Structure 1
Amino acid sequence: MEIKKNGFYLIKNEFFKKFEENSLPFQKNGRPVYYCIQDKYNDKIFWVIALTTKLNKVEKAFEKAGGEEKCKIYCRFPSDKKSAFNIGDIFPITKEYVEREFIKTGKHYQLKDSNLIEKIEKKAITIIKIKMTNDNANNKGINVQKIYKQLSEEINLKIKIETENLKDETKEISKEQKEVEKKNPLIEKIQARRENKENSILTNKK
């Protein structure tokens, strides 16, 4: 399945069980996550944002920061008055852990508001940078460094296995080609002529 930027997705429960992060926003009532950014260093890793319905907490954060624009961890969702983007809890994932697209009105639900997309992405980049470069930032909330490292190891292992399998397949194909060549009368004649020619050259030299 192709993971489309600015799309909403449902994550497999396997992901939440495997990483055992108490702070991960477990999907309640089929609430989706928003695919925000492809990782800068590994194109197989995607950063996703969960939605929160704790709007009182969101408004308090806005008030404390001096307004929504100055608040790094939340962003209002104008088309959904009951939830907001919880950017502070952004976390990495790979497509292997994506269960399916989130469907709304019969089609994949994607964010279209370019201004909102830009606003979310700007805040997300700031949070990712903080959490990936500052160990203390992971002491509270989701330990994204830990998840990122494990995902990277899984990706590298998969690439290694695929490379080894490809080598084995190439060897097998090469072996089969040689067997076919041995059984091909035309190739046998060409090889016989070549050997006769080489023998003739050696005889003349003597």
Structure 2
Amino acid sequence: MRFKGSEAYVSTDDLTLAVNAAITLQRPLLVKGEPGTGKTMLAVEVAKALGLPLLEWHIKSTTKAQQGLYEYDAVSRLRDSQLGDPRVHEIRNYIVKGMLWQAFTSETPVVLLIDEIDKADIEFPNDLLRELDRMEFFVYETKELVKATQRPIVFITSNNEKELPDAFLRRCFFHYIRFPDKETMEKIVDVHFPGLKKSLLR
């Protein structure tokens, strides 16, 4: 399974090499760069090029790592208990699966995008270390181990707003997408606006 580029995304040779190295060695690819340099679209286009489903987890300042695994909806269970709903006897009815759970248990390989990880708390990356490394986690409410049946291709993006922990960085391949030079910019414009006169780019 190799990424050879796509008609809708201009990938430099070193970026293509980084993507394929991460796929081959089954490690997350951490992509840093300024906003608008194509970090998120890279995961989208790799998924399209490889014919794989894409799961997107967009990170906010309030996002917790646990949400990527699962959440136990105790409030709904309490409400249903008060209403006499028979669903309360099965705790699985109140487990909300996160993006990592969905990726780990997919019947086919998937591309998992963890977008803008630097927006979260500084401890957020460390809280996912074990899960991304071993591709498994334990659900305490149901006493079950969720283990990846097929290892997802993981892309992690960062706008470089804050430094990420060294322990997390050591477990990832890293690539910095620089703002495109004149030649690359012309290729990008040609992909999205094929009829545009070259003179307008000067």
**What's the TM-score, normalizing by structure 1?**
0.27
- The structure whose Rg is larger is 1
Whose helix fraction is larger, Structure 1's or Structure 2's? 1
Higher relative contact order (CA 8 A, sep 6+): 2
**TM-score, with structure 2 as normaliser:** 0.28
